Amino acid sequence: MSSLPSVNWSYPTSVRFGVGRIKELPKAVEAVGMTNPLLVTDPGLAGLPMVADAIASLKASGLSAAVFSDVKPNPVDSNIAAGVAVFREGGHDGVIAFGGGSGLDAGKLIAFMAGQTRPIWDFEDIGDWWKRADSDGIAPIIAVPTTAGTGSEVGRAGVVTNEATHTKKVIFHPKMLPEIVICDPELTVGMPRFITIGTGMDALAHCLEAYSAPMYHPMSEGIALEGMRLVLENLPKVAADGSDLEARGHLMSAAAMGAVAFQKGLGAIHSLSHPVGALYDTHHGMTNAVFMPYVMQYNRAAIEQKFERLAGFLGISGGYQGVLDTVLKLRSDLDVPHTLAGLNVDDSKRDLIAEMAIVDPTAGGNPVELTKAGALEIFDKAQSGAV
């Protein structure tokens, strides 16, 4: 009898990667059958030339298009409802999700909810709740990432905050996977240093947690390895020189790789980061970066042997401790706060954060069971700085 497990795997979509590929947006729109797309982005990007240029290129090709940008950095359910209303009123037939994680997730969720009659929370990523959706009502999606971190462009889910409960929820459906992705490193050049670093650390967290997760998925595990290498080698380069297109391209690859890899699982970095982000409105990737070494230490007994292999692949001496030291040095070199205080997070909600963390969907992928006591231990160390 074979000891191999029986598991389900799914890999991503058509990706057009390279400098200048944004020029292909009109053809991509036509290829998926859109004639009147709604471009969903965030307020910061909405006024930039890249969005104006995208709309102009669509109209020059004889396509109609409009922009929706009422999206918070951590999208909330009212943002999605407002976007769906604009989508329906404008007679749109698809979505161009354009931006960082907030624009991408919001765009995907608007396309998903455009044809639904049930509340968005009925489609949370629990069991087979996604089967409740009317799949025929899901509009086609093209994704254009302008950051290199979340990897939402190759994901089948979107994260949205429930305003009533201040909890982040993952909404899932296979048809939320964009049909075409345009990854153009030129679009990331104007990112502020803080966002570049935060999104890059998000990609690292995705790969690191996917690699650490206990589920059997060797393809994702291999992708996670290379994703970590690309972040460690290229994030410092981009932080030092934001115009380094080659390094930015490698980070875009790493971001997509992280999102592909984390179908293997995430863990306590994310399950703690989600409630902190929902309650304090912190940058998701930067919050992940703060929690990273403390979660690694919590998981040490379960991951130490695997991290020997990781260290060898990355060319780091010292096994697990060498990887930990590399993460700590990277954070320091890139001005990532060492403690939660650097994100203006206090301990007044520590108990609530721990309770939210252990029921977060990502907690189940942690290689060590995340108990409330464990979540409190990690949170307290992230407050004190004791690695």
Segment 260-303, tens digit of pLDDT: 999 999 999 999 999 999 999 999 999 999 999 999 999 999 99
Is 172 in the same domain as 202? no
**3 is a domain residue:** no
Please indicate, yes or no, if residue 4 is contained in any of the structural domains. no
CATH of the domain at 343: 1.20.1090.10
Check whether residue 180 and residue 205 sit in a common domain: no
Q: Which of 168, 188, 208 is where one domain is finished?
A: 188
Burial class (CB in 10 A: 0-12, 13-18, 19+), 183: buried
Q: What's the predicted TM-score (pTM) here?
A: 0.92
- Residues 236 and 263 placed together within one structural domain of the fold: yes
Residue 21 has pLDDT above 80, yes or no: yes
Per the structure, the complete domain to which residue 147 belongs is given by: 14-188
**Predicted local confidence at residue 336, as pLDDT:** 98
Q: How confident is the model at residue 93 (pLDDT cuts 50, 70, 90)?
A: very high
Residue 247's contacts (CB-CB under 8 Å, 6 or more residues apart) are 234, 235, 237, 238, 241
Residue 72 falls inside a structural domain: yes
**Whether 285 and 203 share a structural domain:** yes
**Per-residue pLDDT at 166:** 86
Question: Residue 1: is its pLDDT beyond 60?
Answer: no
Task: Examine the fold and report which residue of 143, 170, 188 is the final residue of a domain before the chain moves on.
Answer: 188
Structural domain total, the chain: 2
Residue 9 lies in a domain: no
Q: Are 166 and 197 in contact (CB under 8 A)?
A: no
- Whether residues 297 and 257 share a domain: the answer is yes
Task: Tell me if 364 is assigned to some domain.
Answer: yes
- pLDDT over 80 at 325, yes or no: yes
User: What confidence tier does 225 reach under pLDDT thresholds 50, 70, 90?
Assistant: very high
Last residue of a domain, one of 160, 188, 216: 188
